[in-house]
Structure 1
Amino acid sequence: MPSADTRQEFAPPHTPGMLRALVMALVAHAALVAVLAIGVAWKRELPPATVEAELWSTIPQEAAPPPPPEEPPEPAVEPEPVPKPTPTPPPPAVKPAEQEAPSKADIALAKEKERRIAEEKQKELQAQKAEARKAQEKRELEKQAQEKAAKEKQDKARAQLREKEQLEKEKLAKEKAAREAKEKADKAKLADAAKLKAQKAAKEDAKRTEELRQQQIARMTGLAGASGSGAPSSTGTAAKSSGPGANYSGRIQAAVKPNITFTDTIVGNPKTEIEVSLSASGEILSKRVIKRSGNKAWDDAAENAIDKTRKLPLDDGKVWSPMIIVISPQTLVGP
């Protein structure tokens, strides 16, 4: 809801010269009333006229000057005395004709004249008001046009800003989609590489397993009366030993023992047996605790040692999988 200040802001301005016009109209009406009052009083009462006049039989005249003397002047002759004129009585005073009272037609003409003057003044006042109203309407139209232009300019700026923000959002969305697609492609490549690596390792394991199976078949084939390749004190009947070498256990111990980290005080000689599966290159693929020592801290240290080792040495190119590794504080026994 607009406030009082807002309503006053859009209110029409005061007409210039309004007070002066009102004062002049009041003065004119007051003068008109005074003239009418004087005229009515003048018609009702006529002051008596007093006139005095004096009449003479003849009008006195002044004599002309004497002519210049040409000859010696003659002895002056005294003139006869002139009789004084007798004053004549003044004529009777003539009263001036009484001034005639104005007629009804004159009064009507005066009123009509006054009415026309008042109408002309009223028309002039109305014309001034109309001009002021037109000027006010013109100012309001100009103000509305300016406000409309400013609003259109502001709307255009807002539309440009929204369009710019929309373009920025679309650009960011495209960049995000491209980045996600690239990450997805990279993950797919990594997954394919890991899959290929796992397939290759599986093939190598299968190949190594097949080689071991063939060797076992060959050993079993030569059991009947074949001469062994073992030591002279050996009591076996196979053509050659099928187990790990004599020094292979020491090599396993040398690989695992440096990775054992245990700082607690321990009583006795707890043993933890862990079964590991190896790849054809000796890498540890998986582990499983098959027998715990009863000391959780020592079992955790043994598992961490296997995780840190990651790869075990080969036995003259052979891989023994699965393999059981026994880990204890005092001894590290092979399979």
Structure 2
Amino acid sequence: MRFFHTLVFHFNIAAQCRHLGVPLWSCPPFLFLVFGIINIAAILSTYYLAQRYASPEVIILSVVLLSMFLLVVSFIIMRAFEQVVAARQKESARHREMLAIKDQFVFVAAHELRTPANAIKWALESLEIKKSPWIEKEKEVFDALSISSARLLDLVKDLLEVARIETGAITLHFETVSIESVLKELLSSLAAYAAKLNISIINNIHDDALQVFADKVRFKEILDNLIANAIKYNREKGTVFISAEREAGGVTLHIRDEGQGIATGDQVHIFEKFWRSVDAHKIEGTGLGLFIARQLVLSMHGKISFTTEQGIGTIFSVYLPSTHT
């Protein structure tokens, strides 16, 4: 059926002209058709004249006129192509300009949001000192405000990171990084979050010699996104398993959860910006974590992939080189 529709589209010259966004008389497919008809008619006319008039002068004149006519038609077709190319280039430039404006707006908006968001956080932290004499209802309101403030800060942080990535403003400082030391720092900060959701973390990396050549801050950010996701999307009382293995020229880390897995239809979208599955909407998140993780991995000459099984869980794997590439 799809082949049939494609075939019909190729024979539907009017539809092709609309798709190109040019009028019929400037549309290359239409002009090619006209050129073909004229070419056949001209050849038949020349043959007819050659048969009817044996005079060489008549035949030469016919060939000269035919050649001039074909040159004019070729020029018209060439101009039509130039118009189409120019229109597409203008459209592409406008699209790039709009994307640049959008990225700049997101960056400025997120940057401006960061100050009031931090102010709210500091105000809540100062109020927390006086929390003990509050009644239960006041404590509930305070806790809800604290959670919302943390979400706002996470969103602002992710938006700024995306803006830096897409505008090429992100700067990487490569060095030899110990995976074990980064995990030690990270897991201590994630311990409270995991305990709150009743999730256990088993870290099987205990070799300080296991190293990658990366930006330490960004590498930590990648692991933070992946481990936080493994905690967030795990089953109740589930476990997050962290392991690594040496490979040719680098190290591959595996972060496995015991969640429901990723649906087949969702897998192709998993690294898209702002994308979240229907099932995930009941879990808080920005839809930017995996997009950011993937972009950072690629910027450090690495690879990121995942395997998943419904009802069993998901494994995210990150490969990074252990030496300068």
Compute the TM-score of the two structures, normalised by the length of structure 2. 0.29
When you count helix as a share of all residues, which structure comes out higher? 2
When you count strand as a share of all residues, which structure comes out higher? 2
Higher-Rg structure is: 1
